[in-house]
Amino acid sequence: MPLKSRNIIVSEYFDNHLVEIVDEGVHRSLYFAGNILQSRISFITPDTLILLYTQYMMSALLVQPEPQHVLLIGIGAGALVRFLHHHFPYCTIDAVDHSDQIIRMAVGYFHMPSKDPITIHCRDGYEFLAAKKPDRPYDLILVDAFDESGMSKTIYTGDFFKLCLESLTPEGVLSCNLWSGDQRELAEVKNGIERHATSHLYLPVPNRGNIVALGFNTPAPWGKIKRPENELNSLSQRFHIDLDRIVTIAKRFNMTLGQRIGSIFL
């Protein structure tokens, strides 16, 4: 990208970690360590999801198309909060991040909404969920807790995933962004999800190292995921997400060949 189109708005250190906000053409981006893109917002369409992995995380809407109560662990620039509040303005959202600096940047520089029905919590995600009263379960729990070193060590554990799944409605969805250059670490995280979820799906994000994991307290809800084409097109247009492509990837990486062939005739 030409230097003249890249304008650093903020450059700060937090616990010896560099955090930057950069304007790049029509986008404002949040970077860790100078070159690790964490989140991005469009100046033109700020309520759409720009980064592909966030779109894959929101494929959970195939199963829960009208969420009423959502928990988000890891705020970043607030792209997921903006998206959810735009499409579901009456949905209550608990947005949790351990960093006051990240919260301040998301609200101040990315204009993340932070008023009722949205509640911002500056707290470790595991501690928040462990202390939460189980009076109202979540329809969706979205986990995207990263720093420049990778997945948060306190979040991406079997104990945390167990708490998440226990905090969902019976047909709720846990949606997690996974990434690691260490295959053993990634396998351990996957094992933590598989150990506690009744069923799970993995969605590799094309041309990225990310994998989005969906966890359920029910058998895999293929009946909701493999919607008729007209329904997929309608939802794709509504959310500006290529859900047909995501469903294709879901089937390719989570069904046997026989199951995929059989699904054609359903």
For residue 131, pLDDT over 70 is answered with yes
CATH of the domain at 83: 3.40.50.150
Q: Is residue 136 part of a domain?
A: yes
Comparing 5-9, 15-19, 101-105, the range with the smallest average pLDDT is 15-19
With respect to residue 211, please indicate whether it lies within any of the assigned structural domains. yes
- Mean pLDDT within 89-115: 96
Structural domain includes residue 205:
yes
At how many degrees (to 10) do helices 243-254 and 257-264 cross? 140
The tokens of 44 are what? Answer: 């033109």
Residues with Cβ < 8 Å from 88, sequence gap 6 or more?
A: 66, 67, 68
Considering the domain boundaries, does residue 119 fall inside one? yes
Determine which helix (DSSP H) or strand (DSSP E) holds 151, and give its type and residue range. Answer: strand 150-151
**pLDDT for position 265:** 44
pLDDT value at position 147?
72
Task: Provide the H-helix boundaries in 135-221.
Answer: 158-166, 183-196
Q: Is the pLDDT of residue 235 over 70?
A: yes
In a domain, 37, yes or no: no
Q: Is position 7 within any domain?
A: no
Q: Which domain holds residue 167?
A: 47-264
Whole-model pTM: value is 0.93
Tally of structural domains, the chain: 1
Judge whether 79 lies within some domain.
Answer: yes
Whether 12 has a pLDDT exceeding 60, the answer reads yes
Residue 6 inside a domain? The answer is: no
**pLDDT range class, residue 259, cuts 50, 70, 90:** low
Q: Mean pLDDT over all residues of the chain?
A: 91
